[in-house]
Chain A
Amino acid sequence: MRSVFLDHQSSTPVLPEVFEAMRPYFTEAFGNPSSLHQHGLRVREAMKTARQQMAALIGAESEEEIFFTSDGTESSNLAIKGVAYANERRGKHLVLSATEHPSVLNSVEFLEKQGWSYTKVPVDAEGLIRVADVSTAITAQTVLVAVHHVNHDIGTIQPIADVGRICAEKGVPLYVDCEASAGWLPVNVKDFGAALISFSPHRFYGPKGVGVLYRNKKARIVSILHGGVQEGGRRAGTENVPAIVGGGVAAEFARREMAGRTAHCARLQKRLWEGLKGAIPYLKFNGPAPGPNRSPLNLNLSTEFIEGEGQLLLCDLNGIAVASGSSCVSKSLKISHVLAAIGLDHALAQGNIIMTLGKDNTDADVDYVVESFARIVTKLRGMSPMWDEFERGIIDSVIAPTGRGKSFSEHAASVSGKSAH
């Protein structure tokens, strides 16, 4: 059976060159970078190179602006809580978009319990914020604005440079979560006007276990992990040296190969969407159309009349790895907050499938996915009462309304005795 990995937003395989670069740091170069002897100094040097490689990827002026953390979640926790605590006396208000990653949303909600307040800027049906809304949300008490670059679910690219200009005018630092974009799309601290940027090498063929937080020296931040004075006192704890070294090499490759990788994925994205659209009726493409406002990796789809987890499972049984924002996939039984924020109909959110491409996917992979997915959808629709009821004119399609029957949501509410999410 063909194996097609279409979940590059979740993680990517480590490049062979990255793996080779990491290898000595597990064995002969095992030293602790805080040690003052040869073993420590050797790995300290390797970490400095990695810092320079990370800085180069995002156009940072100096490697001293790069902190290593354990992953993206730790980076966003440090960015948000670190800035909030450092500026407590200045103000206790934060601004963020409604479609931030849970590590951002939940950090802000954690602060709310401790007396901070926040304003959540809404997004439109394609997941885009309005820059004017960010401007309006900023108050004299605002100490941080958090807007991600590319959305992890629907691939929307936010107008970050415009947000950066507003933040600069108002003198409020901007934190940009670039977890879904760094290594794939140009990320530049100056163009973005960002005081803080986070990204993770495992999203671009580097290892897990390392996250990166860029911090402009002008932005005040305090540590949220207490211990030694690693990472300039901003992140206590022994650094994950092999992952940091590998991450640096991955950043180097990503910078050099970015244009080629992106063009390859953009072409496959078009082929995949056109193939699926042609093979499967009642399929919706969520988020902005492929182009300047959308990540070239991401396809976020809603297959009407069937649920997402079943699609995911059958894809997996056919060797195809995908993700879903359906409530059945989530441990909280809630649909993805991103799909809720763009106001997607519940029926379509339940049928959600997320496919994210990578540099090693091929045309043959895409064609196999189109053919397999069409079969999977037919099988599940054959088992769905909604498909049958649609065909009999009892309920209507949200994607292509026929004018017959009631909406899925009305129907679902009448059979469950409660309105959907």
Chain B
Amino acid sequence: MSDTYALYNSTVMDHFMNPRNMGDIRDADGVGEVGAAACGDIMKISLKIKDGRIEDARFKTFGCGSAIASSSMATELIKGRSIDEAMNFSNQEVVDALGGLPPVKIHCSVLAEEALKAALEDYIKKHPEKAALAAEAAPIGQIVHAT
């Protein structure tokens, strides 16, 4: 075929076909699994956290191409961030890093944000002492941009 046409842009297709950080972390420090009420997709993110920073992030997704790409990109973006930075993570970062998603697929990036936050909450629940430090370091609502 000389011409190929794509449903999504090349970045999204790349993350769908060659997802980064796909899998589960054994002995994860935090695991979040969330479902989208809108469409029925399910996303799971597991985190390895060391010295207040996300050392590793992995995902598994039951969902469409853009859900898989969103979770792949989200795990790429959050690796190396501190807990408080990650708590301020926004789905818009995923959308921007993917070079945009069709309007009907924006909720896939929201699901990635929710899965990440659920994983962080799981971590904080298990380590309440770390949460206090994180809250001190970054007031809730602070907007953090990717570097």
Contacts and interface: CB of A to CB of B under 8 A. Distances in A.
Interface of A: 1, 3, 305-310, 313, 317, 319, 326-329, 331, 333, 335, 346-347, 350, 382-386, 388, 411-413, 415-418, 420-421
B33 interface: yes
A208 to B, nearest CB: 18
7 contacts: A307-B63, A346-B40, A383-B68, A385-B33, A386-B42, A413-B35, A417-B35
Contacts, number: 85
A306 B68 CA distance: 11
A307 B62 contact: yes
Contact of A384 (B17, B35, B36, B62): B62
A238 B36 CA distance: 48
B7 interface: yes
Interface residues of B, number: 29
Interface of B: 1, 7, 16-17, 19, 22, 24, 33-44, 60-65, 67-68, 104, 107
A413 B36 CA distance: 9
A385 B41 CA distance: 11
Contact of A328 (B22, B34, B39, B43): B39
A350 B63 CA distance: 8
Contact of A416 (B7, B16, B34, B64): B34
For B17, B39, B65, B104, the residue with the greatest tally of chain A CB atoms inside 10 Å of its CB is: B39
Contact of B37 (A313, A347, A411, A416): A416
B62 A305 contact: yes
A306 B39 contact: no
Nearest to A308: B64
A415 B33 CA distance: 6
Given A383-B61, A388-B24, A412 B40 contact: yes
Nearest to B105: A328
B62 A386 contact: yes
Contacts of B22: 382-383
Nearest to B16: A313
Given A416-B34, A416-B37, 7 more contacts: A307-B64, A328-B41, A328-B63, A333-B39, A346-B40, A416-B36, A421-B40
A329 to B, nearest CB: 8
Contacts of A3: 1
A313 B63 contact: no
Contacts of B38: 333
Q: Which of B7, B22, B42 has the most CB of A within 10 A?
A: B42
Contact of B64 (A310, A331, A385): A310
A328 B67 contact: yes
Nearest to A333: B39
